[in-house]
Structure 1
């Protein structure tokens, strides 16, 4: 059965939609329902913010939506965040069939997401997306044996949230407002308060300084954010381009010519249609540390690369980029083996990779220069034979 995934462009869910597309054989990702010219057996409509006409629904056999509430309770906007604000730590997700009314169709699956009560916005989004992926894959696994059931019970509706809903009351304690702090976005709708007519913005991060003993200028506190290139603002895209074109960065890339702004923007746009490639900006407490990219070579092998922000003088940036790359590749992408290529002259980066368990698997020549291929599997100690070396 042909499967389509429909999500809105330029928003947080895109990397997860791409990941879901890669997990469903022959699935295709769309960013507008108007682009689905042919009929599909199943259309997963996930984090999609446009009105859909009935004629579109009639074109496809199953139009499936996931809502973060125990329908018919909690219809409407941002149900996950409203329930976190209410203090709930168990959130029911409902997969149901779309019909002409909002959040009204027959229910196929329901599953509960359990929260610790400490998750902040980015982690909540991640858990929300993972639950959506899980329900989609479960539906496909059980299809067509699932029996839908009509919604029953008393319905309720959540209103649309706006940036003004992130306002804190300075007369109240942080403890009493912690759930509000959990659902603010530091970039899109940060927490704020008003004092004597002036607006003050607060940003919240999880910081673990347990390993920061020893002082110095090393980067140890992990207040990290990964943001997909495709959702960056134009200003952020230009900043990444400036790093990439810096001589200290470009000299270690295969393509060492200066990239134009038009080329850069066109490349980022092409990533929307390429589920095998992902590029991220890595931030530390709001400061851009560098860029990380992943390429899926097979279902088990992922290739990666990164470069740091050449305008920063902090030590330890390469180590942080490497650590984040390993976690994302093995824990998020599910890779069994991680590979990379590096110029043989780049001794500092080669030694960094070796510290994290990478081993040289092959040598080759690229544009007259010696290049090393290195790899690591998802165990702590990597036998040489796993990398093709006996």
Structure 2
């Protein structure tokens, strides 16, 4: 197939690689414009652009994909299919209707649940035991098109947003290649989504990571894992931001107020929550490196009864 690939972040890269390995002709890559990065504000390429340049694939970076001039470029390319993986822009009907086999999206959840942004992280935060990849036809809605193939993935008890991202990225590429094969063969079924089972999740931002100790320890522990590595879960200790990277639930009834440190061991800081308690195992105080709690406690004096947040 002649493929136009549209994607931007790291998650998209493995799908582009799998398409190339499968022998398809990627005639163009479309990605978001370059952005300044870091303190020096040097221009950084999106990960997909970097990979496309390795393969010597022409790269297009429209500010808005709906611009008529860009749509004309796509028409001239005459792709058989457009593959979209975390591109970052909503495509107009003029693009969706352009290729022979349509626009196919790789979505990082088992649709129809967890439509929208950040489904990987929200599946962990939401306490799901299973997630997966869905390939689907794109339509004018957000993640509302007919489904094609799905593959399930178990969410481990210690799964983080980062580890699940990497798993799903690899699976997504392989499932997309199988989807393209079955589209060509005419052996794939279109499955309509049940809108009544859908759940739109919002984009991640730093404010989401602020820990509310009135919530249960289980909810907080899932938030910590889901937001690891970005944007991370955090609280405050003596007016300094304290990021929490790893924790476990301590079941039981305890006296005190939510956010209060109720016990200290050589390796743990145990904090009361709305239900049960939370043992902090790995953290990072503002201005310091990330470290295990035992290392932190060797160099920082903290008392039982201290309130976090």
- TM-score, reference length from structure 2: 0.58
Aligned: 1:199 with 2:238: no
Deviations 1:171-208 (A, max 9, x none): 6786652221212243x412211345442234459xxx
**Cα gap change, 1:50/1:132 in structure 2, threshold over 3 Å: closer, same or farther?**
same
Q: Give, in angstroms, the shift of residue 22 of structure 1.
A: 2.9
**Cα gap change, 1:175/1:168 in structure 2, threshold over 3 Å: closer, same or farther?**
same
Deviations 1:52-74 (A, max 9, x none): 12211122122011223343332
**Cα gap change, 1:167/1:285 in structure 2, threshold over 3 Å: closer, same or farther?**
closer
**Cα gap change, 1:122/1:73 in structure 2, threshold over 3 Å: closer, same or farther?**
closer
CA contact (8 A) 1:170 1:193 kept: no
Q: How many angstroms apart in 1 are the aligned matches of 2:176 and 2:189?
A: 15
Deviations 1:349-390 (A, max 9, x none): xxxxxxxxxxxxxxxxxxxxxxxxxxxxxxxxxxxxxxxxxx
Q: How many angstroms apart in 1 are the aligned matches of 2:203 and 2:179?
A: 29
Aligned: 1:103 with 2:143: yes
CA contact (8 A) 1:5 1:27 kept: no
Q: How many angstroms apart in 1 are the aligned matches of 2:140 and 2:15?
A: 24
Q: Give, in angstroms, the shift of residue 121 of structure 1.
A: 2.6
SS state at 2:77 partner? coil
Cross-structure match for 1:82: 122
Q: Give, in angstroms, the shift of residue 153 of structure 1.
A: 4.7
Cross-structure match for 2:200: 157
SS state at 2:23 partner? coil
Q: How is 1:133-144 mapped onto 2 (pairs within 5 angstroms)?
A: 133-143=173-183, 144=186
Cross-structure match for 1:124: 164
Cross-structure match for 1:147: 189
Deviations 1:309-358 (A, max 9, x none): xxxxxxxxxxxxxxxxxxxxxxxxxxxxxxxxxxxxxxxxxxxxxxxxxx
**Cα gap change, 1:151/1:173 in structure 2, threshold over 3 Å: closer, same or farther?**
closer
CA contact (8 A) 1:121 1:183 kept: yes
Q: How many angstroms apart in 2 are the aligned matches of 1:201 and 1:81?
A: 17
Larger RCO: Structure 1 or Structure 2 (Cα < 8 Å, ≥ 6 residues apart)? 2
Deviations 1:263-320 (A, max 9, x none): xxxxxxxxxxxxxxxxxxxxx979xxxxxxxxxxxxxxxxxxxxxxxxxxxxxxxxxx
Q: How many angstroms apart in 1 are the aligned matches of 2:160 and 2:123?
A: 14
**Cα gap change, 1:18/1:285 in structure 2, threshold over 3 Å: closer, same or farther?**
farther
Q: Give, in angstroms, the shift of residue 168 of structure 1.
A: 2.2
**Cα gap change, 1:177/1:27 in structure 2, threshold over 3 Å: closer, same or farther?**
farther
Q: How is 1:56-71 mapped onto 2 (pairs within 5 angstroms)?
A: 56-61=95-100, 62-71=102-111
Q: How many angstroms apart in 1 are the aligned matches of 2:113 and 2:167?
A: 21
Uncovered stretches (5+) of structure 2, i.e. residues with no partner: 32-60, 248-288, 292-309
CA contact (8 A) 2:15 2:176 kept: no
Aligned: 1:2 with 2:45: no
Q: How many angstroms apart in 2 are the aligned matches of 1:153 and 1:128?
A: 24
Q: Find the partner of 1:19 among 17, 20, 31.
A: 17
Q: Find the partner of 1:166 among 205, 209, 230.
A: 209
Cross-structure match for 1:52: 91
- TM-score, reference length from structure 1: 0.47
Q: How many angstroms apart in 1 are the aligned matches of 2:118 and 2:133?
A: 12
Q: How many angstroms apart in 1 are the aligned matches of 2:139 and 2:18?
A: 23
**Cα gap change, 1:285/1:39 in structure 2, threshold over 3 Å: closer, same or farther?**
farther
Q: How many angstroms apart in 2 are the aligned matches of 1:106 and 1:180?
A: 31
Q: How many angstroms apart in 1 are the aligned matches of 2:158 and 2:110?
A: 22
**Cα gap change, 1:166/1:100 in structure 2, threshold over 3 Å: closer, same or farther?**
same
SS state at 2:97 partner? helix
CA contact (8 A) 1:68 1:92 kept: yes
Aligned residues: 206
